[in-house]
Structure 1
């Protein structure tokens, strides 16, 4: 009887000791690294490594998703043609790897239209009720933009065969952000839609796009870019090739932005033939110009 009692006491101690050890191990000291230490580490990590870091534990997730801490400079991800409305496939140039990015709610069902300042532009296509979102691929944060029904010529666009075939990709030509911090007072979105002869602006709180006439007759905007606090618009013109306009100050609500128009020549279509032994190759295409911001 005494032997049995001692055995039970030892077992109880082992079980209790196991609980104590488990509790001590559960308090992982690396979970409570000071934020200032994490702020030193994060700028040396690429986007992929920050995503990996965010799933280690909750404290690390909240810090690694902070948009005010930049990632290490890397080559951009290339978004592959979207085959599903529920995820995006991409190719990472720096590592030579492809991956899949699941779209957060309520974005599944949306289609990728481009990116700006680290945010993806997504459109949920529902004809006249179509909506546009900004989605952060790292944190999953979202910002809804004004309905496309408030953009120029949209009601006419959804009635065309082009909309039925290509959707928003044939309507949303350029959408750019002024800053990656969507909570900043300086945050705004510039866009061109449809016939691209008008500039559309948005600031937080707006329920519709502000539409501005900034071009002369027979001109159109082909690209937009925010750089150093200014908005640049690439404009196709018949007689102003190579000209950069004087800056003009655009005001809408309590926001203002300096606009510069960069004039480009009308693109030419390339149409030629090449002969190879017993067959003929018809080469046909066009060249497009774009605005690019240099980091140097």
Structure 2
């Protein structure tokens, strides 16, 4: 059987470069005209938003913020997954009627809440999304949640003038309400609780004639005296055993700043993570000053002025009745947000420690009105838009 001879392999000639380019121009170039530029010249900015969010969610907060400055898609993804503390909203009371205004201090968009339940009532304190209200004509004190419209009554209390506060949300088992009223050199402190039948009152000697707002910390209520030389310091009250203590403000405390009697200074007390802060404004200073509690080498507690470096990203929300402190709010780090609308009403009056200026620059001239009686900071629910 004859075997077939294999024919020699024919060499294929490689196409010339001009042929290839002609084929590419015929096959590829027409399709490029129909493709979006993101496929022709892809970049990280063109990644799908869901993928960008996954990447951003793996970053620490500082890296998230840095990456967010790359471009708008990265910023939107970074903000969407950024874990920050929820900030309070500003609640403004009507001069008459029942239309309360709510504003997000970061966006400053106004919302209106119609609260007929609060007609002829005065807001005295806010905490954990609840308001403590008073109807002075009826000696009525009650809790009210402006979002769920839940109302919880307290025993009646006749209080000519004083300060109110409560420890935690009224649904909690250890919620206690405190009312302080000063009469010359005596302070009357009354306590009650949701479901209580009356108030437990005690009188204590005191130096103060005016105090800051009240703060609850480590099972005690704290307030600061109105910067008088004979009684300047921190006061604390234990509501469970009814003890009233005075803690002199010494060792690096306040400079009187041209006002030895404290008549031209205003202050707000706040707490965060077990530490007390004091925000001071003065006619003699074109900037507010923040103090925090510290411990000296000898173990003594004292107040020290916080430098720009020590602010560490804190944001302070100050009002006459309550003050809040948050950390790592990327848009308003190292700021004090006051409870008064700015001169142009486009945002709340504020001070930036980084820029070392008020917004606007002349806000400091109204230092006494930076925390008016007609507004308060309140913690909104996470789904707040559901109630608006």
Instruction: Name the structure, 1 or 2, with higher relative contact order (CA <8 Å, separation 6+).
Output: 2
**Which has the larger share of helix?**
1
